[in-house]
Amino acid sequence: MERALTQTEASIEAKVSGLPALDIPELYQCVHCGLCLDQCPTYRALHIESESPRGRIHLVRAAAEGRIELNERFASHLNLCLMCRACESACPSGVQYGRIAEAAREILGPPGSPLARAVQRAAFQYLLPSPLRLRIAARLLGFYQRSGLGRLLELALPERLREMQSMMPAVPRRFFNPRSEVMPAIAKNRARVGMLSGCVMSVLFPEVNEATLRVLRLNGCDVVLPKKQLCCGALNVHNGETVTAKAMARQNIDAFLESKLDAVVVNAAGCGAAMKEYGHLLRDDPAYAEKAERFGRLVKDAGEYLFELGPRAPQRPIERVVTYQDPCHLAHGQKIRSQPRELLKAIPGIELREMNGADRCCGSAGIYNLTHPEMSQELLQEKMAAIAETSAEIVVAPNPGCMLQLRYGAKRYGPPVEVLHLMDLLDRAYDANQGFSLR
């Protein structure tokens, strides 16, 4: 039988054999109150403590103290986490769970089977850091999709892969390709901002980037799109690939800090959250620590920035019922909740109806829907049911991962809602001609 110990006694006993790399200060801020439990999507689904934020922190702490091994079971609990950070919103002690989980994943490496890991590692280290390679890969995928080869292959594919294939969105024929590195304001000039093109955004959602660009310019922003910018590296960080992530961060910092900017605007919630935290990522890099901090403060979500800037009133009415899905990395990662809603409400004709659990993860979570399809689909079904209850015609979710997931959900489970980015809708609501006439 175990003797009852206090936490501190256990810590002291274990320190000797522990894992100092995991022993980060954030671990000790958790007071085990449990207020995170019911906010955690995986805990809500399973009700097992080790699939909750408090449980995962406990596990990491136990591992740091050498009380448990970093084995497959440990890894499976850490990897089932969506990294949605809903727990951070719920935490009264301000524990930065994301940092704890990232520290653990850094040691564990990417999740999945050895083959899956190899594929992911290749993607993280080879594709994401290179816009060119990413575009070539996407071109190939687009060609594959249009060729009808996929439908043929489907017959031969195992169910899991078939599922994955069906989740893949259609790759558009053109990618986001701004005409120049600096796009001038098309209204009275109010600011000069950088804009992240992003990896997924520019390849799969070129129209969202174009809309964002137009909305910023119509609101009087000169928009700088440095050619040297890369993918933000968020996926790498979340999946324990920090070496590559750091290199990407350094290049982005250099690319954007070259010009004098009022802000770096990001229209993907996940990227924005990661870039705001470059300071933490590069804290041990003497050459970049300060720059990264400075850069992080410049980063703004597109909705956040527009709201702060004070947007022009949209003129063109959109008579639709809309519901808003909080991307996790916006609501929880960046504490941005009201600004996108206010922007939506400012569009004439729109009726904004809140869904139940709007700030609960849709199950997309980066590549989570590929690594953990079962949990991901469970959460998606719950989400689609909540959307259906609102009878909304449009779901706004300002993040590419959420958009992909929700579009898949609309197709697979219904209701057949249109899934849009906030910038899409704003773009539609601005009278473009009026804007151009101001030039």
Q: Which stretch binds other proteins (CB under 8 A): 6-14, 97-105, 232-240, 383-391?
A: 6-14
Residue 152 touching other proteins (CB under 8 A): no
Residue 16 touching other proteins (CB under 8 A): no
Least spacing, CB of residue 4 vs other proteins, in Å: 4
Least spacing, CB of residue 7 vs other proteins, in Å: 5
Residue located via tokens 């740091």: 64
Question: In the complex with other proteins, which residue's Cβ is closer, 1 or 115?
Answer: 1
Residue 374 touching other proteins (CB under 8 A): no
Question: In the complex with other proteins, which residue's Cβ is closer, 10 or 119?
Answer: 10
By CB neighbour count within 10 A (0-12 exposed, 13-18 middle, 19+ buried), where does 310 fall? exposed
Q: Which residues are bridge partners to 351 per DSSP?
A: 321
414: left (phi over 0), alpha (psi -120 to 50) or beta: left
Contact of 14 with 66, CB cutoff 8 Å: yes
3-class SS at 299?
strand
Q: How many residues belong to the site for other proteins (CB under 8 A)?
A: 42
Least spacing, CB of residue 373 vs other proteins, in Å: 17
Residue 122 touching other proteins (CB under 8 A): no
Q: Which stretch binds other proteins (CB under 8 A): 86-94, 173-181, 182-190, 383-391?
A: 86-94
Query: Distances in Å between the alpha carbon of 44 and those of 39, 50, 81, 151, 375?
Result: 7, 12, 12, 36, 11
Least spacing, CB of residue 368 vs other proteins, in Å: 20
Give the Cα separation of 288 and 250 in Å (integer).
7
Question: In the complex with other proteins, which residue's Cβ is closer, 61 or 276?
Answer: 61
Give the end-to-end CA distance of the chain in Å, rounded to a whole number: 79
Residue 3 touching other proteins (CB under 8 A): yes
Give the Cα separation of 309 and 326 in Å (integer).
21
Residue 58 touching other proteins (CB under 8 A): yes
Sheet holding 321-324, edge to edge: 351-352, 321-324, 394-396, 418-420
Task: Indicate the residue type of 152.
Answer: L
85: left (phi over 0), alpha (psi -120 to 50) or beta: left
Q: Rounded to 10 degrees, what is the CA torsion of 211, 319, 353, 301?
A: 10
- Please name the residue ranges forming H helices in 123-260: 131-147, 149-154, 159-167, 199-204, 206-218, 234-238, 242-257
Least spacing, CB of residue 19 vs other proteins, in Å: 14
Contact of 321 with 389, CB cutoff 8 Å: no
Q: Which stretch binds other proteins (CB under 8 A): 55-63, 136-144, 332-340, 425-433?
A: 55-63
Least spacing, CB of residue 37 vs other proteins, in Å: 5
Residue 36 touching other proteins (CB under 8 A): yes
Angle between helices 422-429 and 206-218 (to 10 degrees): 50
- Residues 22, 82, 84, 91: which binds other proteins (CB under 8 A)? 91
Question: In the complex with other proteins, which residue's Cβ is closer, 47 or 160?
Answer: 47
Residues between 66 and 85 that touch other proteins (CB under 8 A): 67-69, 71, 73-74, 77
Q: Which stretch binds other proteins (CB under 8 A): 60-68, 103-111, 203-211, 359-367?
A: 60-68
Residue 93 touching other proteins (CB under 8 A): yes
Report which secondary-structure segment, H or E, holds 10. helix 7-15
Residue 216 touching other proteins (CB under 8 A): no
Question: In the complex with other proteins, which residue's Cβ is closer, 291 or 345?
Answer: 345
Question: In the complex with other proteins, which residue's Cβ is closer, 45 or 318?
Answer: 45
Residue 105 touching other proteins (CB under 8 A): no
Least spacing, CB of residue 346 vs other proteins, in Å: 21
Rounded to 5 degrees, φ, ψ at 397 are -145, 100
Residue 97 touching other proteins (CB under 8 A): no
Residue 47 touching other proteins (CB under 8 A): yes
Residues forming the site for other proteins (CB under 8 A): 1-10, 29, 31-39, 47-50, 52, 54-55, 58-59, 62, 67-69, 71, 73-74, 77, 90-94
